[in-house]
Amino acid sequence: MKTPVYIASIASVSPLGNSSEVIWKNYKDPKHFISNHTFGNIEAFAAFLPKNLKEEIEQLRTSNPVFKNLDLSVLYSIYTSRKSIAQAGWERGDEIGINIGSSRGATGLFEKYHQNFLETGKAETLASPTTTLGNISSWVAQDIETTGPEISHSVTCSTGLQAILNGAAWLQAGMADKFLVGGSEAALTPFTIAQMKAMKIYASEDLDYPCRALDTEKLRNTMVLGEGAGVVTLQLNSENSLAKIAGIGYATERLDHPASISSNGECFQKSMKMAIGNMHPSEIDAVVMHAPGTVKGDQAEINAISALFGENLPAMTSNKWKIGHTFGASGILSLELAVLILQHQEFIPVPFSSISKSPKRLKNILVNAVGFGGNAVSILINNS
């Protein structure tokens, strides 16, 4: 990092709730938020936002007539962006850069419009403008009345952390003073669930913990989808910041299959090494892992950490066993967990994992994400 970048605030909506106090309380509780649901004619595990929180977000539709036809992924972004800006003490109308992405974008609306097209042979008037991926950052910019740049992207499951890379680059280049970055996902739909099941990676056993992320003894894939959004405010000023971004890393590995990752997690090894920079491996205290709950995915990341750190293994944890995999929002929700761990100086282990153990110190924490395409991102944060 040429110039340190600081996290001024984080706001999120997820199955954990929407306030840092409630979210931390739910992290300390070993229960999970995954339950069985029916999606069309498919039964599957999933993790939804609390009902009262979803109703509160839905009220945005009536608060502004132009919000009426927006997808939930956009509403989640607007809601969390407002909260994050308020927490940072920023003002509406400031020149704020925005990079909020999504793996799937306006999933619910797109499926609704496409089904209507199949039935009638006609596309609805707003089908195109309300389902483009740029819809997310554009509507956030409209809502907060910013004059800064607006970027939306999809780098599948590493989308949220990729947004941090972009925001940090703009700040370090002197092209912006404030940047709003994050990811949003509202993809709990029948077609999306069917896609994951078709890949044979979805959880199928009704266990105490259906998603077995970081369970090294599991014999089946146990990924579960969740929904949520997370937005982070980035700035060069350290005053009243939550944490410092001390390193960023990224890498892409050669693929043998569209959804594959090498057994030793080559992309993770490279991204973590870049993020750590000149620090000694023993200085890294913990890693909040991507760990989706698949047999190969979890093991590849564990192997990457073992290969890079050797005898200096950091503590390892993940939150997908508790809230599911939120695709493009997952990296930001993992970052939020890392920040909370630093703030409270208390590690949150995976309750059923034999390798998830508390470290002696909590100062430097890595956060990992990887997406289809073999692209990995690692963010190093600390409280200095």
CA nearest to 252, candidates 233, 228, 274: 274
Residue 256 scores a pLDDT above 80: no
C-beta separation of 160 from 332 below 8 A: yes
Domains of the chain (ranges; CATH) run 5-235 (3.40.47.10), 243-382 (3.40.47.10)
- Give the model's confidence band at 107: pLDDT under 50 very low, under 70 low, under 90 confident, else very high: very high
* Four-residue CA torsion sign, 23, 26, 31, 35: negative
Q: Is the pLDDT of residue 7 over 60?
A: yes
For residues 186-196, average pLDDT: 96
Whether residue 255 is predicted with pLDDT greater than 80 in this model: the reply is no
Average pLDDT, the chain: 95
Q: Is the per-residue pLDDT at 292 higher than 70?
A: yes
- The answer to whether residue 349 scores a pLDDT higher than 90 is yes
* Model confidence at 102: pLDDT above 70: yes
Q: What confidence tens digit (pLDDT) does each residue in 49-90 have?
A: 999 999 999 999 999 999 999 999 999 999 999 999 999 999
Between 258 and 183, the more confident residue is 183
Model pTM score: 0.97
